[in-house]
Structure 1
Amino acid sequence: MPATIYLHWAATPYDWVRPGHYHSIIAGDGTLHRLHAYTIDLPAHTWRRNSNAVALSCACMGGRPDPWSIPPTEAQLDAMCREAAEIARGWGWGEADITIERVMTHAEAASNRDGRWMHDNYGPVIWGGTGERWDFLQLRKGGPPSGGDELRQRIRAFLAGGGQPAPLVFRRSATMQVRGQELDVEIDEHGSSWARAADLLLRYEIPYAWEASRRRLLVGSLDVVPSFRADQVQPQVGWPLFEMTLLSGPAPVILRGILRDNRAWCRVLEFAEEFGISVSFEPFTLLERRGG
């Protein structure tokens, strides 16, 4: 199958985040949780359409008995469409490529609306289906059944450059002690310390490989369990993003960082917490890698 982006809702509360189901999940406040590399296939997000596909899902529509008591928020829809646009841009797509054949809601996929008859019609009843899946048939309760078209139009607008956030500002350069040696860092406008990811990995003798075409650092470590933290670096930082993933089957994302001066930078404290490195403060110092 050609590469396809599938747009889902998870039928959950706004704060639901679990790896394994979708590549990224967007919480109710618009926070994007990047869980798996977009280059790997996950097995169970869109029936019989999981190969060569990326699944983005909004944590919403989990109300009982009325799903619409937890509707998709504007922040979620905005974040999902912005992320879909970034994926499309990375694949070399333009606005004209954002078609139903390449970007589909689960409602559309369930009803084979792209013309590929992959399975029986388990989509919305109004499209002749059984009604089992109707993700984003509508974007609001009582709205028109044109959710897919509306979302694709938003994605095209982001691809055209609309609504780009201002880049995070870095205030000054500094040094800090990392494993008994000085390390160059940059301090951002919020006071957070950032370092080149490769410098940190080398300092702790953690093997890695850089995939420039995918903006990804592959880490070969068997003793890291990603926390999928809620404060993961978001697209709103305004810089191109990279991801650091484990070199394993589902390629779970350890953290996200930014590309600055053609180098991958990550937040120092986040790196330490993900890799089990002891930390002391006043002054901020990274010690040994102890785990836990």
Structure 2
Amino acid sequence: MHTWFQARASVVAATIYLHWTAHGYDWIRPGHYHRIIGGDGRVHRLHALTADLPAHTWRRNSNSIALACACMGGQPDPWTLPPTAAQLLSLCQEVAAIARSWGWTAADITIQSVMAHAEAASNRDGRWMHDNYGPVIWGGTGERWDLLQLEQYGPSDGGEQLRQRIAALLNGDELAPPASDRLAFRGVTSIEARGQELSVQIDADGRSWALMVDLLQRYDLAAQWDGDQRRVLIAASDVAPTYRDNAVQAAVGWPLVEMALQGGQAPVILTGILRPSSEGDRAWCRVLEFAEEFGISVSFEPLVLGERRGG
């Protein structure tokens, strides 16, 4: 694990790069960016933030993370699919949440720590990492101009606008929804999982949630808790994440927890929540989502989890 994620240093070491995908609003693919925000503003968490992805920002992929809005894929005019207001809001909220989890404050949100790809391509942070392949107005070749503008014919300071929004979020309490808006558990019950009783909580929409540790132990899945990153690392070679559209979002109001595969690009299997208890903070996930991601046989009425069969 990279040491620059473990504690806040006096100098920001990690860089967050902001992109657009140059595809449609529903283009969600792993391997390119750590997060992709769909046209509806939904955040798709694809890779653990400690994974170095090889191809998001030329010669700047190490010690960095990348977030992208799925947009600007119109042909021949990319502006027929511009960044939506929902995307830009979610992008700023996600960056602010990451920054806060690293111990950053609004003062840390500078062009050295958070950059639009247009700015990075033109070395606007003062680090000469490569030739200038950014916007022509900055002396570049025009090959990359992600988020130079946030709207068609808008000012060419998109990166600075985004940094101001992110800093404003860190200065306020917008990232902490009122307790009344948080996902609530309405009651406790039990289901059968692998032939034994498993305690679960039911939310307001009737979905079952279980402690991650209970599910992992029930299915003999080796796991490692990374408290610094609020994630659970799974040592399994027979899991292929589905990157579902209905993954848990920050709107649930609780801190999010990622379950990711250990090693490589650390793809995210699912996202859960962290809730306080008398025994300390506990990580929960949706039972059916866990079963589907790990290839567990499921039957309904009542909900019963069988064995891991894969596929």
- Assess same fold via TM > 0.5: yes
Q: What is the aligned partner in structure 1 of residue 121 from structure 2?
A: 110
Query: In the TM superposition, what are the counterparts of 1:250-265 in structure 2 within 5 Å?
Result: 250-261=265-276, 262-265=281-284
* Cα offset, 1:162, TM superposition: 2.1
User: Which runs of no fewer than 5 residues in structure 1 stay unpaired?
Assistant: none
Whether the 8 Å CA contact 2:106–2:167 is kept in 1: the answer is yes
Deviations 1:32-59 (A, max 9, x none): 1111100111011000100100000000
Consecutive unaligned residues in structure 2, runs of 5 or more: 1-11
Partner residue of 1:291? 310
Q: Which residue of 2 aligns with 1:95?
A: 106
1:83 match:
94
Where do 1:53-92 residues align within 5 Å?
53-92=64-103
Q: Confirm whether residue 234 of structure 1 aligns to residue 249 of structure 2.
A: yes
* Aligned counterpart in structure 1 of residue 286 of structure 2, from 236, 243, 267: 267
Distance in 2 of aligned mates of 1:196 and 1:154: 35
Partner of 2:5: none
Indicate if the aligned counterparts of 2:32 and 2:56 stay in contact, CA closer than 8 A: yes
What do the CA deviations read for 1:74-103 (whole angstroms, capped 9, x no partner)? 111111111101111111100000001100
Equivalent runs, 1:206-221 vs 2, <5 Å: 206-221=221-236
Per-residue deviation, residues 154-200 of structure 1 (Å, max 9, x unmatched):
11122222264331111111111111111111111111110000100
Aligned residue pair count: 292
What does 1:187-226 align with in structure 2 at a 5 Å threshold? 187-226=202-241
Q: Which amino acid aligns with 1:172?
A: G
Between the aligned partners of 1:230 and 1:277, the Cα distance in structure 2 is: 20
CA distance in 2, matches of 1:50, 1:121: 17
SS of the residue corresponding to residue 49 of structure 1 reads: coil
Report what 1:167 is aligned to.
Answer: 182
C-alpha contact 2:260 2:266 (8 A) present in aligned 1? yes
Matches within 5 A, 1:44-55: 44-55=55-66
TM-score, structure 2 normalization: 0.92
**Counterpart amino acid of residue 26 in structure 1:** I
Secondary structure of the residue aligned to 2:187 is strand
Partner residue of 1:7 out of 18, 40, 55: 18
Separation (CA, whole Å) in 1 of partners of 2:228 and 2:174: 24
Q: Is the 8 A contact 2:93 2:175 kept in 1?
A: no
Shift in Å at residue 6 of structure 1?
Answer: 0.2
Return the TM-score normalized by structure 1: 0.98
Aligned-partner residue type, residue 200 of structure 2: V
SS at match of 2:228: helix
Which ranges of 4 or more aligned residues in structure 1 deviate by more than 3 Å?
Answer: none
Task: Indicate yes or no: 2:280 matched with 1:280.
Answer: no
TM-superposition CA deviations, 1:213-271 (whole Å, max 9, x none): 11110101111000011111111111000100001211000000000120110000000
Q: Percent identical across equivalent pairs?
A: 66
CA distance in 2: counterparts of 1:125 and 1:49, whole angstroms: 20
Alignment equivalent of 1:249, drawn from 264, 272, 276: 264
Partner of 1:180: 195
- Contact 2:97 2:175 (8 Å CA) reproduced: no
RMSD: 1.0
Q: Deviations over 1:93-135 (max 9, x none)?
A: 0000000110000000001111111111111111111111111
Q: Which residue number in structure 1 is paired with residue 9 of structure 2?
A: none
1:60 Cα deviation after fit: 0.2
- The corresponding residue for 1:38 is 49
- The separation in 2 between residues aligned to 1:237 and 1:156, in whole angstroms, is 22
> For 1:212 and 1:81, how far apart are their aligned partners in 2?
24
| Partner of residue 158 from structure 2, selected from 133, 136, 147 | 147
Aligned AA for 1:272?
A
SS of corresponding position for 2:76 = coil
